[in-house]
Amino acid sequence: MLTIKDLIRDEGTRAKYEAIRNMAGAHGMRSSIYDVNNICNLRCKGCFYFSSGEDQVPDQKDLGELKAFIEKEKARGVNYAILIGGEPSLSLDRLDMWYAGIKCSAATNGVKRIPRERYPKMRIGISLWGDEEYEERLRGKNTFKISSEHYKGDPNVYYLYTITPPNLHMVGPVTQKIGDVGLRVHYQLFSNDQNVEGMDWSEETFARVRDVMDEMLDRHPEVVVSSKYYHRVLTTRTMLGRRFGWMECPSVSEAVDERSPRPKRLAGFNSIASDYRTIHRCCTSVTRDCLTCHDGAAAMSWIMVNKREHMTSPDDFANWVDVTHMFAKLYEYIPW
């Protein structure tokens, strides 16, 4: 295997590597995903949370139980909690407990404001599906109009924009709008869990969306938090000649991971429901078919956990550094 000295050929990669070196170490990042509650103020078409019944758990409302659970998770080694839902903004008493207990970020639809003054350091990711008309059609509301007013100019907020095959033409204008309100964006791709007609990706739409995302990254480097290698892996579902899928996925909950041989995976990662007991299979829905899963977090984690495999040439290593650097920015291990 080549040494780091052999592998780093340019100053940009060197600077990024220096920034992530500690984070990527053995005691670096240990994240898990938690459902804060099992309710939401939207009913988006195609929402996997409700369609797969993840809300059907005996939601634990006791804040003392939550406090004890957070302590247990920290004792398990978790040092970063990714809070999802349901909808975290609807349970601020629970967010208070999380915020006081562990470094955390929240994923929200942005319709109800999470008060910045109450959580000054919390990273907030807002889900977004497209332009005004598309959001109204699929989510019943122009959520961007509402969320951008809530969070305009907030340096610790980004949009998590899920791109669908029919909405490629919106990516440019939507990215521009996000930049205009002083926020950032990270892209991921729609997974057609419910076989909606016209929503499957094809070789042609994969190639087009890759070009669009690359172009946006070149044109708006201060707005788009991404990496061209991430775009490539996401749209080809391959990395170093390997095909993404169940036997490669790094984001299966450790507590239920019985794969053999066990692939490289996120250390200690679990996705846990709002009863603090039920473990979801992985970072997304149990009803999702791994063969058509385009989960962006799983793709970037896949790259990240396979560091050694990228240590065979300067180009491969630069790609690994680029994606890990992006991950570190999104999950606050280094500044934007």
21 Rama sector, left if φ>0, alpha if ψ -120 to 50, beta otherwise: alpha
What CA–CA distance (Å, rounded) separates 229 from 219?
Answer: 17
Give the tokens for residue 196. 């909606």
Give the tokens for residue 56. 């059907």
Q: How far is the CB of 54 from ligand SF4 (least distance, A)?
A: 9
CA 42 to chain centre: 20
The total of other beta-carbon atoms located within 10 Å of residue 3's CB is 8
Closest to ligand SF4 by CB, 167 vs 251, is: 251
283 binding ligand SF4? (CB under 6 A): yes
Contact status, residue 312 vs residue 265, Cβ threshold 8 Å: no
43 binding ligand SF4? (CB under 6 A): yes
Closest to ligand SF4 by CB, 8 vs 47, is: 47
Q: How far is the CB of 160 from ligand SF4 (least distance, A)?
A: 11
- Of 284, 296, 335, which is closest to residue 161 (Cα–Cα)? 296
Report the residue from 14, 30, 42, 142 that binds ligand SF4 according to the rule CB under 6 A: 42
**How far are the Cα atoms of 16, 105, 193 from residue 275, in angstroms, in the given order?**
39, 19, 25
User: Parallel, antiparallel, or unpaired for β 80-84 and 104-108?
Assistant: parallel
Site for ligand SF4 in 65-124 (CB under 6 A): 85, 87, 109
Size of the site for ligand SF4 (CB under 6 A): 23
Q: How far is the CB of 289 from ligand SF4 (least distance, A)?
A: 7
From the list 95-103, 170-178, 199-207, 290-298, the region that binds ligand SF4 by CB under 6 A is 290-298
125 binding ligand SF4? (CB under 6 A): no
From the list 92-100, 158-166, 213-221, 276-284, the region that binds ligand SF4 by CB under 6 A is 276-284
Q: Which residues are near ligand SF4 by CB under 6 A? A: 40, 42-44, 47, 49-50, 85, 87, 109, 127, 246, 249, 251-252, 282-284, 288, 290, 293, 295, 298
